[in-house]
């Protein structure tokens, strides 16, 4: 049995014969696409843009450098942008954002329940987007059914990111300051103890001259005393040298403590908002013209395909009979 041919001429004739059906299906598809877009709940997208400052610029080694002048860029590089991106995608930051924006009230979920919290996190991740532009700024956007919610979430994201990113650096500096403060208190106690010891020895032996070997300008023969003052002078020198070193260390620690207190100041911004998100006036997503074009093309394609398949099977059945 010979297989019936179905060439280009047959295809064109079949399309011409069924053109009304094809046009009808195409028009119905376009109408359905327009109706679907009309009844679909509108979504709004708000976007905020910000720059990442270089955290090393506000470091104590940069603010109080005295032995070299090294250039430090104001703006953060790729490493800083990667760190901010990692923080934005972390559960800790996203949880703070949804709590600060009252997602549990907006989407009517129990944020303290595991299932409800997971639902809110899923809603946030679905509407959240963070991307980097070619100008080394970051663009954060959020899509929601309410334009004000979209803008509030975008702005809150920048605020929480700035606080988290700054806290990462200031916490380390505060821990260093706390460690130095504890050491200064220990030095104060040791210096006070040595001061009492030296005062008692000077009163006992009547030696009031500066005799510490660590101090400059001492005059030979200036120290006087009675019997046993020789050993007393040696002991005074030993204790004075220890005390002088402790006093020097204490002043050095206090100087570092003051520098850390400046660099850990929370008035320093680590992110700079350059475009604040505002409630959008237009919806996001494809326009009605684009939707109708896409659905019209799909309707045209599948209607032609259906007509050609049916025509071929009809021709094949005619041969078999």
Residues 6+ apart with CB under 8 A from 12: none
Q: Give residue 283's pLDDT.
A: 79
Rounded Cα distance between 34 and 175, Å, is 61
Tracing tokens 């598809």 back to the chain, one arrives at 29
Q: Which pLDDT band, with edges at 50, 70 and 90, does 220 fall under?
A: very low
Whether the per-residue pLDDT at 262 is higher than 80: the answer is no
**φ, ψ dihedrals at 167, nearest 5°:** -60, -30
Q: Give residue 128's pLDDT.
A: 94
User: pLDDT per residue over 171-205, tens digit each?
Assistant: 888 888 888 889 999 999 999 998 898 888 888 87
Alpha carbons within 13 A on the beta-carbon side of 79: 3
Query: Which ranges constitute the DSSP H helices of the chain?
Result: 8-17, 19-39, 60-63, 78-88, 91-100, 103-106, 114-127, 147-205, 229-263, 288-320
Note the pTM of the prediction, 2 decimals: 0.69
Q: Give residue 100's pLDDT.
A: 94
Contact in structure between 163 and 93 (CB atoms under 8 Å)? no
Helix (H) or strand (E) holding 67: none
Which is more confident, 100 or 209? 100
**φ, ψ dihedrals at 47, nearest 5°:** -135, 140
Rounded Cα distance between 156 and 182, Å, is 37
Which is more confident, 49 or 169? 49
Q: Which pLDDT band, with edges at 50, 70 and 90, does 18 fall under?
A: confident
Q: Give residue 208's pLDDT.
A: 74
Q: What share of the chain is helix, strand, coil (3-state, %, to 5)?
A: 65, 10, 25
Which is more confident, 7 or 298? 298
Q: Give residue 41's pLDDT.
A: 80
Question: What mean pLDDT comes out for the span 274-287?
Answer: 84
Alpha carbons within 13 A on the beta-carbon side of 73: 9
Q: Which of 18-22, 103-107, 184-188, 256-260 has the lowest mean pLDDT?
A: 256-260
Q: Give residue 160's pLDDT.
A: 94
Closest by Cα among 160, 123, 115, 121 to 140: 160
Helix (H) or strand (E) holding 72: none
Rounded Cα distance between 160 and 91, Å, is 12
Whether the per-residue pLDDT at 161 is higher than 90: the answer is yes
Whether the per-residue pLDDT at 66 is higher than 80: the answer is no
Question: What mean pLDDT comes out for the span 239-266?
Answer: 83
């Amino acid at each position: 049995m010979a297989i019936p041919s179905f060439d280009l001429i047959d295809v064109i004739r079949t399309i011409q014969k069924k053109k009304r059906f094809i046009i009808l299906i195409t028009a119905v598809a376009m109408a359905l696409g327009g109706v679907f877009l009309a009844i679909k709940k509108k979504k709004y997208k708000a976007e905020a843009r910000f720059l990442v400052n270089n955290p090393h610029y506000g470091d104590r080694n940069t603010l109080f450098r005295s032995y070299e002048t090294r250039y430090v860029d104001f703006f953060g590089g790729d490493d800083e942008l990667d760190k901010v991106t990692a923080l934005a995608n972390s559960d800790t930051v996203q949880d703070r954002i949804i709590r600060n924006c009252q997602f549990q009230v907006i989407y009517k979920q129990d944020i303290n329940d595991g299932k409800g919290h997971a639902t809110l996190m899923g809603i946030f991740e679905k509407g959240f987007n963070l991307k980097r532009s070619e100008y080394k700024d970051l663009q954060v956007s959020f899509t929601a059914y309410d334009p004000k919610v979209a803008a509030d979430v975008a702005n809150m994201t920048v605020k929480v990111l700035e606080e988290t990113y700054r806290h990462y650096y200031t916490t380390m500096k505060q821990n260093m300051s706390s460690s130095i403060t504890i050491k200064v208190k220990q030095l104060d106690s040791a210096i006070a103890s040595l001061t009492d010891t030296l005062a008692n020895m000077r009163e006992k032996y009547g030696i009031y001259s500066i005799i510490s070997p660590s101090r400059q300008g001492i005059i030979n023969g200036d120290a006087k005393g009675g019997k046993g003052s020789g050993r007393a002078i040696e002991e005074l020198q030993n204790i004075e040298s220890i005390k002088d070193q402790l006093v020097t260390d204490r002043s050095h620690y206090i100087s570092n403590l003051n520098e850390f207190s400046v660099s850990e100041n929370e008035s320093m911004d680590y992110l700079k908002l350059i475009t604040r998100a505002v409630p959008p006036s237009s919806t996001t997503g494809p326009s009605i013209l684009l939707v109708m074009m896409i659905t019209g093309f799909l309707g045209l394609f599948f209607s032609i395909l259906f007509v050609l398949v049916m025509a071929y099977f009809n021709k094949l059945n005619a041969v078999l009979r």
